């Protein structure tokens, strides 16, 4: 649903409808729209099984936004329009837990697990014990408090007794219900006031996308989905959390700090019935053999999951037995984690090579003595940059620990040094010349990275073609490393437009290419011509222009021609485009070669126009910062209104801010504005500015 369009609904029809509607009817209509939207959010985000198209969903959402916009008094915090919003925060407030949030004891092998089971038998005096097996999700645990069926608070684990109130970020997670109907709770057998505990996580795909975006913007990378989850839950701007696509699985239900149902398996079923996302990959095991089978099954299949797990959690099913078994210091005796072997290994660095990326960036890569890690053999790991090599203190010949997570490229995490693993001696130096083309390498003052500045460097070409053909860009399946290497080596492809010149005869002369695969590639190339403008913009490989920026550019300009002719000033009118990105885009299109490339793409009939989003000009060139709670609008609504009128909404106050719009409880942004002498206006003045 990422790409939901935001076309406005037929306003005329709605105005007529509204004029005819009595206040009670409006209220009813609003509630009925909310119920529908909640249902479809549940189908999409919890069940992963949508019943309607994204466009149909947008229509419902826009209809609700419109009605709420006209009746601000009817906006309630549990409305689906209110996921992002609320007061700005300068930090998090501490919040106590209803009962301690415990952690789990770990086991790493079958023997230890059998010992745990034996202890359970001994302490309980029984041997017929059922266990629930669940995946151990690798995220962060989080408690959700509901009152009257409504989400009241989300609290991080913290030290187990006191966590941090991260409600505003939690609300943006679409698989977490903001409100649950009384009937639904009743059917699930859950009272209206309760607490769910579970795991917040970032799916691998969302993690990769986020890191790609960050790389485009030359921001630091998150090491793994778990860190990314924690970083996202604990960052201060809810709209950022909303974009990062977190997910939440419930695994505990408490009422007044106590387990509510008499069996854990019932708890999970009840949470599911109430509309929470509960992992379907679970099992009620009747004996150890079944527990072990579940552990083995998922050890093998863990690579196929869309998120990371680090083991299996085994819990005694009956609550009465759990209570009998009780707790040791920090962990329950009635549950245990079986941890899978870390996807890390120790091996030796045989050499450090340098890879040249699409932007010419030189990345040092460790050539490793091949080592099996989590089912595959790893012989390369990234060292990111020279600063990282210095931080790790890595030398050629060192033994190092290498980690691999999900889809992420393996990386060196530390140097291992002991009797069996003596240190290496050879230091790595960044080459003075590009290893691919021999051009002198440049490091710009203040930047971490070294770059090859030769526009015709073959490595850049190869990476540019790979980027253009990749899934998020022109999605040309089959055009991976092997094919692109051959195409560029043989001079068949010298720029991205050449892709559209490839003939079957060209392909048939390549290695491992039969008639059928050649035809498949040609069909894929043909199909890519239909992809929307933003993909082409992204595909051009303009520095700092990632997927999101490409989308904003396409929406703002509506055609490649308008984009090509835009001045840096005009470019800065675009959402999230600052001087650095604007400069980079303008420079790209000043280059005659690049303009010529666009002309070639036009000749091949790629999609070079799109739908310009109607934006006003009333606030063109003006930058706003929102702070405090507005009475009549949510943050989202206000932001959209300003952007629709051509204005820009920034996250922090600087000298370049034109207006700070302050609602009630405005915090330090207001102070900052006063300090810098930036105009501060209220909601009323904002409405006036918007006309």
Residues that bind ligand IVH (CB under 6 A): 102-104, 134, 136-137, 141, 199, 251, 313, 332, 335, 337
Output 282 or 535, the one with its CB closest to ligand IVH.
282
Taking the complex as a whole, how short is the minimal distance between the CB of residue 106 and ligand IVH, in angstroms?
7
Taking the complex as a whole, how short is the minimal distance between the CB of residue 137 and ligand IVH, in angstroms?
4
Which residue, among 55, 52, 82, has the nearest Cα to 68 in the 3D structure? 82
Taking the complex as a whole, how short is the minimal distance between the CB of residue 311 and ligand IVH, in angstroms?
8
Cβ neighbour number for residue 73 with a 10 Å cutoff: 9
Are 322 and 314 a contacting pair, CB within 8 Å?
A: no
Taking the complex as a whole, how short is the minimal distance between the CB of residue 157 and ligand IVH, in angstroms?
6
Are 522 and 501 a contacting pair, CB within 8 Å?
A: no
Taking the complex as a whole, how short is the minimal distance between the CB of residue 315 and ligand IVH, in angstroms?
7
Q: Give the whole-angstrom CA distance, residue 652 versus residue 163.
A: 27
Residue nearest ligand IVH, CB atom distance: 141
Are 618 and 645 a contacting pair, CB within 8 Å?
A: yes
Which DSSP string do the residues of 579-633 spell out, in sequence order?
HHHHHHHHHHHHSHHHHHHHHHHHHTT---B-PPPP--STTTT-EEEEESB-SS-
Taking the complex as a whole, how short is the minimal distance between the CB of residue 102 and ligand IVH, in angstroms?
4
Relative orientation angle of helices 225-233 and 204-216, to the nearest 10 degrees: 80
Output 163 or 360, the one with its CB closest to ligand IVH.
163
Output 337 or 582, the one with its CB closest to ligand IVH.
337
Long-range contacts of 497-500 (CB under 8 A, 24+ apart): 497/597, 497/600, 497/601, 497/604, 499/465, 499/468, 499/469, 499/525, 500/525, 500/529, 500/600, 500/601, 500/604, 500/606
Output 52 or 102, the one with its CB closest to ligand IVH.
102
Taking the complex as a whole, how short is the minimal distance between the CB of residue 323 and ligand IVH, in angstroms?
13
- The residues annotated as belonging to the active site are 136
Output 103 or 376, the one with its CB closest to ligand IVH.
103
Output 103 or 519, the one with its CB closest to ligand IVH.
103
Q: Give the whole-angstrom CA distance, residue 402 versus residue 420.
A: 17
Cβ neighbour number for residue 237 with a 10 Å cutoff: 16
Q: Give Cβ neighbours of residue 297 (< 8 Å, ≥ 6 apart).
A: none
Q: What is the dihedral of CA 233, 234, 239, 241, to 10 degrees?
A: -30
Output 337 or 642, the one with its CB closest to ligand IVH.
337
Which residue, among 572, 568, 600, has the nearest Cα to 587 in the 3D structure? 568
């Amino acid at each position: 649903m990422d790409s939901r369009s935001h076309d406005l609904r037929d306003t005329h029809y709605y105005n007529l409808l509204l004029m005819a509607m009595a206040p009670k009817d409006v209220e009813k209509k609003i509630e009925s729209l909310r119920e529908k939207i909640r249902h479809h959010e549940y189908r999409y985000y919890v069940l992963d099984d949508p019943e309607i198209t994204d466009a149909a969903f947008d229509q419902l959402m826009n209809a609700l936004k419109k009605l709420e916009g006209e009746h601000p008094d009817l906006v309630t915090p549990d409305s689906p329009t209110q996921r992002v919003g609320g007061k700005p925060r300068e930090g998090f407030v501490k919040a106590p837990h209803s009962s301690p949030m415990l952690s789990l004891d770990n086991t790493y092998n079958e023997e230890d697990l059998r010992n745990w089971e034996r202890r359970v038998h001994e302490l309980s005096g029984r041997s017929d014990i059922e266990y629930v097996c669940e995946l151990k999700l690798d995220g962060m645990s989080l408690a959700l408090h509901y009152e009257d069926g409504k989400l009241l608070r989300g609290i991080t684990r913290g030290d187990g007794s006191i966590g941090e109130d991260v409600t505003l970020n939690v609300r943006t997670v679409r698989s977490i219900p903001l409100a649950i109907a009384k009937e639904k709770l009743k059917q699930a057998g859950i009272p209206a006031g309760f607490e769910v505990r579970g795991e917040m996580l970032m799916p691998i795909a969302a993690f990769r996308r986020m890191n790609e975006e960050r790389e485009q913007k030359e921001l630091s990378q998150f090491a793994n989905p778990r860190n990314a989850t924690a970083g996202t839950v604990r960052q201060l701007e809810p709209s950022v959390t909303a974009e990062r696509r977190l997910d939440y699985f419930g695994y505990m239900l408490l009422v007044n700090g106590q387990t509510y149902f008499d069996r854990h398996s019932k708890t999970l079923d009840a949470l599911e019935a109430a509309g929470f996302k509960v992992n379907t990959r679970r099992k009620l095991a009747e004996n150890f053999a079944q527990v072990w089978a579940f552990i083995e099954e998922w050890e093998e299949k863990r690579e196929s999951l869309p998120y990371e797990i680090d083991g299996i959690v085994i819990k005694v099913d009956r609550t009465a037995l759990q209570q009998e078994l009780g707790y040791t210091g920090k962990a329950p005796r009635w549950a245990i984690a079986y941890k899978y072997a870390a996807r890390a290994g120790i091996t030796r660095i045989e050499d450090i090579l340098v890879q040249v990326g699409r932007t010419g960036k030189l990345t040092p890569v460790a050539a490793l003595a091949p080592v099996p890690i989590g089912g595959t053999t790893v012989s390369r790991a990234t060292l990111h940059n020279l600063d990282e090599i210095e931080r790790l203190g890595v030398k050629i010949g060192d033994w190092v620990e290498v980690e691999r997570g999900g889809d992420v490229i393996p990386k060196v995490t530390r140097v291992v040094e002991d009797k069996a693993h003596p240190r290496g001696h050879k230091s790595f130096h960044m080459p003075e010349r590009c290893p691919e083309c021999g051009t002198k390498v440049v490091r710009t003052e203040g930047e971490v990275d070294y770059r090859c500045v030769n526009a015709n460097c073959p490595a850049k070409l190869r990476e540019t073609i790979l980027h253009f053909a990749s899934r998020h860009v022109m999605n040309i399946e089959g055009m991976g490393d092997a094919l692109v290497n051959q195409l560029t080596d043989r001079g068949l492809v010298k720029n991205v437009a050449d892709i559209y010149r490839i003939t079957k005869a060209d392909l048939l002369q390549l290695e491992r290419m039969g008639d059928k695969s050649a035809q498949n590639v040609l069909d894929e190339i043909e199909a890519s011509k239909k992809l929307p403008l933003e993909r082409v913009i992204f595909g051009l490989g303009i520095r700092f222009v990632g997927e999101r920026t490409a989308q904003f550019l396409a929406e703002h300009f509506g055609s490649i021609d308008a984009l090509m002719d835009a001045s840096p000033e005009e470019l800065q009118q675009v959402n999230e485009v600052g001087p650095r990105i604007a400069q980079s885009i303008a420079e790209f299109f000043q280059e005659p070669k690049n303009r010529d490339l666009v002309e070639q793409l036009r000749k091949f009939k790629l999609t070079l126009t799109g739908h310009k989003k109607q934006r006003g000009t009333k606030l063109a060139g003006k930058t706003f910062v929102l702070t405090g709670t507005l009475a009549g609008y949510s943050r989202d609504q206000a932001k959209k209104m300003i952007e629709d009128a051509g204005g820009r909404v920034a996250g922090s106050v600087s000298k370049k801010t034109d207006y700070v719009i302050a609602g009630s409880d405005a915090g330090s942004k207001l102070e900052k504005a006063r300090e810098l002498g930036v105009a501060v206006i209220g909601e009323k003045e904002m409405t006036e500015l918007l006309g």
